[in-house]
Amino acid sequence: MNNFIFQNPVKLIMGKGMIGHLSREIPAGSRVMITFGGGSVRANGVYDQVKEALKDYYTVEFWGIEPNPAVETIRSAVELGKREKVDFLLAVGGGSVLDGTKLIAAALLSDKDPWDLVLSRTPLTATVPLGTVLTLPATGSEMNRNAVISRKETQEKYGITANFPEFSILDPEVTFSLPSYQIACGIADTFVHVMEQYITVTGESRIADRWAEGILRTLTEIAPLIREDQSNYDTMADFMFSATMALNGIIRMGVTEDWSTHQIGHELTALHGLTHGHTLAIVLPANLRVRSEIKAGKLLQYGERVWGINQGTPEERIEAAIEKTEEFFRSLGLTTRLHEEGIGQETIAEIERRFNERKIAFGEQNDVTGEVTRKILEAAL
Ligand code: NZQ
Ligand code: ZN
C-alpha cells in the first residue's frame, strides 16, 4: 500500500425531500448567488424546491452554465457576484454547474481573470463558501475539489484543483427527469473513474480493490434496471451514491492511478463537443488494448472478479475482459468507436501535436505520450 493522506470535509445530505434542508446549511443572513445550467431544473421542480427553501435569504440567480463550463460564461457570473457582493454560492445542476461554480468561488476573491486561475496550476483554496444540489450522478464533483473548465475561443479544456463544497444535497428523485443519453454518459463516467484508479498495479491494497470492484459490479447490475425504469428510487439512489463514491478520494487511498483516458477524452470534448462520459467509452477500451501488457495483472483480476472470466490463456482472458467492457458501454446505448462519431485521423494528429507541444505524458508509468495517444486513438477508430 502506498502512503496517503485522506481528508474530505464535504457534508453529504442524501435522500428524498432533502433539498428542504438547505436553510439549515446556509448561514442566516447570507447573500446567496444560485447558479444553474440551461433550465432542466425548472421543468423537474428542483428550482421551486430550492427557491422555497431559500425564501428567507437574499438571493441572486445566475443562469446558463453550459455543459463543459466555459470560462467565457464564468466571467459574467463573477461580475454579477462581485456587483451583488455575494458571500455564499449554491450550485444547482450537474457536474458542469458545480465545476463552473467552484471556479466562480475562487474568482470572486481574486483580481485575476478566471482563465489565469485555471492556468495557475496552484490549488484554488481561497474561495467563497459553496454548497451544491446535484441533479446528475456522474462526475463526483459534489464531493471532491476538482473542476474541469473549457475555453471555447481556443478549444481547450483543463482540470483544476479548487475547493471542496461545504455540503452537497443528493435527492435521487431529481434524476428521474434525466435524458437517457445523460444517464448512459453518467454511468460510463462513473465506471471509468473507478477504472482509472483500479486498472494499474496489483497487490497494493485488497480493500481499495474490493471497493473498486464493488462499485463496478453495482454499475453493471443496475445499468439494465435503469434502462427499464429510471424512476425506481432505490436503483437511482444506488447510481447516485456509486457516482459520488467513485470520485471522492476514498477508492484511491494507497493505490496507483492512471487518468490517461480522461486526458485524451478531454481533448475529444474540446475539439468536437462530444459529451464527457461518451468520450471515455470510446477511449477506455482502446487504451486498455494498447497498454494491456503493463496492465495485465489488474486486467486478469478485473476480468475474473467483475465479469467472471476464468477460462483461457491470460491473453484470451484479457481480451475477453476488454470486450466485456466495450459491450457494457454499447449496452448503455453509447457508441465506442471514433468513426461512429465522425472523428478521424485529422483529430488524432491534432491531439498528438497538442500533447507533444505541451511536453506531457500521462498514465501510471508516464507512458502515455503523444505517440502512444495516437496509437490508442487509432485503436479506437
Ligand atoms: O443545463 P441543464 O438544463 O440543467 O441540463 C443538463 C445538461 O444539459 C442536463 N441535466 C442535468 N441534470 C438533469 C438534466 N436534465 C434533466 N434532468 C436532470 N436532473 O444534463 C446535461 C449535462 O449536464 P452536465 O452538468 O454537463 O453533465 P455532467 O454532470 O456529466 O458534467 C460534465 C462536466 O463535468 C466534468 C466533465 O469534464 C464535464 O465538463 N467532470 C468533472 C469532474 C470533477 N469535477 O471531478 C470529473 C469528471 O471526470 C469530469 O471530467
Ligand atoms: Zn470523468
Q: Pocket around ligand 1: residues whose beta carbon is below 6 Å from it?
A: 37-41, 44, 67-68, 93-97, 99, 135-136, 138-141, 144, 146-148, 174-175, 177-179, 182, 185-186, 189, 247, 262, 276
Element (H, E) at 93: strand 88-93
In angstroms, what is the span from residue 314 Cα to ligand 1's centroid? 38
Pocket test residue of 276, 284, 334, 362 for ligand 1, highest count of atoms within 8 A of CB: 276
Would you state the pLDDT for residue 349?
A: 98
End-to-end Cα, the chain, rounded Å: 37
pLDDT number for residue 231: 97
Summarised one tens digit per residue, pLDDT across range 330-359 is: 999 999 999 999 999 999 999 999 999 999
Quick check: helix, strand or coil at residue 38? coil
Rounded distance, CA 351 to CA 344, Å? 11
Sign of CA dihedral 154, 157, 158, 162: positive
pTM score > 0.95 for this model?
yes
CB 170 within 8 A of CB 117: no
- Given this model, what pLDDT does residue 8 score? 98
Q: What grid cell was written down for 306?
A: 467483475
pLDDT for the residue numbered 87: 98
List average pLDDT for each run of 10 residues in the chain, which is 381 residues long: 98 98 97 98 97 98 98 98 98 98 98 98 96 98 98 97 98 98 98 98 98 98 98 98 98 98 98 98 98 98 98 98 98 98 98 97 97 98 98
pLDDT of residue 353: 98
Give the distance (Å) from ligand 1 centre to CA of residue 306: 27
- Residues 6 or more apart in contact with residue 96 via CB below 8 angstroms: 37, 65, 66, 67, 68, 69
